Amino acid sequence: MKKQEKRSKSEKSKSKSKSQKEPRRKPKYGFFSCVAYSMRMTWRSSKSIAAAAVIAVPVTLILRAIGLYMPSLILKELESGDAFWQVVWVIAMLAAAQMIFSLANQYMEVKRGTAEHFVLLEMIYEEERRERYMDYYLQYDPELAVILQRAQKVTENNHTAGVHFIQYFGEMLVHILSFVLFGTIISTISPWILMLLLAGCLANYGMGKWQQRRSWESGDERNLVNKKLNYIAWTVSNDLSCGKDIRLFHFGDFLGALVAKLEGRWYEEQNKVERNSFLAAFVGFLVVLLRDGAAYAFLIARAVEGEIDAAQFVLYFAAITQLSEFVSGILGTWGRLWAGALGVSDYREFFDIKDRLNRGTGIALPEEKAVSIEFRNVSYQYPTGEKKVLDHVSFHIRAGEKIALVGANGAGKTTMTMLMCGLLVPDEGEVLINGHSVYEYNRDELYSLFSLVPQKCTLLPSSLAENITIVDTEAGEAIDYERLNRCIKAAGLADKIHALPKGVETPLNRQVNEDATELSGGELQKLLLARAMYRGAKVLILDEPTAALDPIAEDAMYRKYNDISKDTTSIFISHRLASTRFCDRIFFLDDASIAEEGTHKELMAKGGKYRALFEVQAKYYKDGGPGGEKAANQEGMPDGKKAANKEGMSDE
């Protein structure tokens, strides 16, 4: 025990020292590269942003000049003792000019805000489009998940800095020109005041940049916690299919405790950000107090000594007050530009992730009705897995052959089928379709060779016809209704659909469509069967699609699949070994490899792991087996022997 404790302590200290030595995260792209990228994207999306930013510069500058000189001019008019109406006329002219330019400025702000919204939508669309169409295997990469979270953070709302580059450059130009105007006025009384104000603003800028950098570096941890919280709050809590489990097993308290724990982590990370922000703000307050206090003291002293009159005092006082704001605005805008560049760098990094499958022109697809599949020394391990799922596996499936994949949970059956159709790519070895590597085919054309019926399927909130044909009617693609009706009839779904008022045009998903219909488990399998038939692919893969059905219904369903797969290469996955007896060969997967291979009779004759697993299943259906009659009755059978005969459960 003591040795174990010492070992664990040493491991902890090692991991701690490693984490301490880890370099700080650096942006992949530089500031000016990100600015140019954002400008190009903004110009493509909405040219009106540039026009609004350009017009806003002189308008805002004139407004500030009016605001600076207005109090001083009014005071001078009053001191001069001119007629009442002359003073009123000056005030009215200044107020009218201010109102006109304010309205123009507000109009430009509205135009700019609308245009920026379009830019944000364009960024979101491009990010989601890339996520949808990137190679499927990348979704298992934990590093990609972090990069994706960063990219999503950049586009989470229209307040993110990456969207506002043109606005910020416009503001920067306004601040600089305002600084020149106001600085010129202040320098007439003392250039040292100008230097003092600049020094104070630079000190505040340094603190602000330090705070922004710290917040950016710790963003990954906050993104991870937010992802988990959003999953519980939106995915789990709003999913009706989770409602039964939450109520029956009292998961509500568990989820509440988990949310509280995650919120604690979020507040812990957020408190670090807020402490840094408070420190930067406190230092900034002290700097402003010393900077502006010294400037105002100097100005008051000159006024008391009579070196400047009241109108000049008001003018200089306003100039000093606003000049500090302009310098802070210049530095603050530069800080926001810098933060925006960091965000754009994260956004661009997501698009730099390379696909391994061929997205360009590939070799021609096979013209035969069925294709061969070959694995050559294929190994695969999931990025977060502890061991290999497949280890140097080799086999050859002939065109038109029916193969059953069986084995315990986690043996690699689903992984093997995903490698076949290019959803995953091997770490070692290669996968060949008709003698050619999957990399030689265009990826999307490669996918068209396969019809996959998975354990869990996705039904679109659209019509039954569109769910079966997977045709985008809005894009102008046409449904072959004659073929569709043949598939529906062959799948045994015709009676259900003909009984519906809208027939094949009946929508699914009542959460979206009020007049939708719902399918039972058996009806869903029939829909998937019709979908597979309509697609007419050269390879049919069934990944335990009947796991939720009783053995009798499963047997009937597999017989239908057997009928439609006569001219295709077929891969069947099932835990119920009797359902795979019609296959030409059976691969028994165990210990990351194909442990046994052959027909049902050959594997039974070997007396190996396949026979042992088969007999474990068969004894629950045989008359006199442990719980045989009870198990058979639970399946709706009059006795164990009849159930065994229905399933074909014998060792012959």
Lowest mean pLDDT among 24-38, 181-195, 443-457: 181-195
pLDDT band at 35 (very low <50, low <70, confident <90, very high): confident
How much of the chain, in percent, has pLDDT values that exceed 70?
Answer: 75
Q: CA-to-CA distance for 42 and 36, rounded, in angstroms?
A: 10
Quick one: pLDDT at residue 132? 84
Q: CA-to-CA distance for 275 and 355, rounded, in angstroms?
A: 41
Segment holding 6, helix H or strand E: helix 2-21
Whether residue 414 is predicted with pLDDT greater than 60 in this model: the reply is: yes
User: pLDDT tens digits, residue range 75-122?
Assistant: 666 656 556 666 666 667 767 776 777 777 677 677 766 777 777 788
Q: CA-to-CA distance for 451 and 537, rounded, in angstroms?
A: 6
- Percent helix / strand / coil, the chain, rounded to 5: 65, 10, 25
DSSP secondary-structure letter at 470? -
- Any bridge partners for residue 395, and if so which? 375
Asked if residue 505 lies in contact with residue 485, where contact means CB atoms within 8 angstroms, the answer is no
Asked if residue 221 lies in contact with residue 271, where contact means CB atoms within 8 angstroms, the answer is no
Quick one: pLDDT at residue 91? 67
Q: CA-to-CA distance for 488 and 483, rounded, in angstroms?
A: 9
Quick one: pLDDT at residue 633? 43
Amino acid identity of 249? F
Strand-pair category, 593-598 with 585-590: antiparallel
Q: What is the 3-state secondary structure (H, E, C) of 28-93?
A: CCCHHHHHHHHHHHHHHHCCHHHHHHHHHHHHHHHHHHHHHHHHHHHHHHHHHCCCHHHHHHHHHH
Domain ranges of the chain: 26-351, 366-457+537-610, 460-518, 619-652
Lowest mean pLDDT among 440-444, 449-453, 607-611, 623-627: 623-627
Whether residue 630 is predicted with pLDDT greater than 60 in this model: the reply is: no
Whether residue 636 is predicted with pLDDT greater than 50 in this model: the reply is: no
Unique residue bearing structure tokens 């008022």: 501
More confident position, 71 or 361 = 361
Q: CA-to-CA distance for 394 and 378, rounded, in angstroms?
A: 7
| CATH superfamily, region 366-457+537-610 | P-loop containing nucleotide triphosphate hydrolases (3.40.50.300)
Strand-pair category, 402-407 with 390-397: unpaired
- Any bridge partners for residue 379, and if so which? 428
More confident position, 353 or 49 = 353
Q: Classify each residue of 378-406 as buried b or exposed e, where b means 16 or more C-beta atoms within 10 Å of its C-beta.
A: bbbbeeeeeebbbbebeeebebbbbbbbb
Q: Would you say domain 26-351 falls under CATH 3.80.30.20?
A: no
Strand-pair category, 539-543 with 450-453: parallel
Asked if residue 339 lies in contact with residue 161, where contact means CB atoms within 8 angstroms, the answer is yes
Whether residue 17 is predicted with pLDDT greater than 50 in this model: the reply is: no
Q: CA-to-CA distance for 465 and 504, rounded, in angstroms?
A: 5
Q: Classify each residue of 123-142 as buried b or exposed e, where b means 16 or more C-beta atoms within 10 Å of its C-beta.
A: beebbeeeeeebbbbbeeee
User: pLDDT tens digits, residue range 558-605?
Assistant: 777 777 777 789 898 877 776 677 788 999 998 889 999 998 888 888
Distances in Å between the Cα of 406 and the Cα atoms of 456, 512, 529 are 18, 38, 21
Whether residue 548 is predicted with pLDDT greater than 70 in this model: the reply is: no
How much of the chain, in percent, has pLDDT values that exceed 90?
Answer: 9
Name the burial class of residue 414, with classes exposed (0-12), middle (13-18) and buried (19+) by CB atoms within 10 angstroms of its CB. Answer: buried
Q: CA-to-CA distance for 602 and 596, rounded, in angstroms?
A: 10
Name the burial class of residue 164, with classes exposed (0-12), middle (13-18) and buried (19+) by CB atoms within 10 angstroms of its CB. Answer: buried
- Any bridge partners for residue 390, and if so which? 380
pLDDT band at 390 (very low <50, low <70, confident <90, very high): very high
First to last CA, the chain: 55
Distances in Å between the Cα of 54 and the Cα atoms of 39, 61, 99, 105, 173 are 14, 12, 20, 11, 10
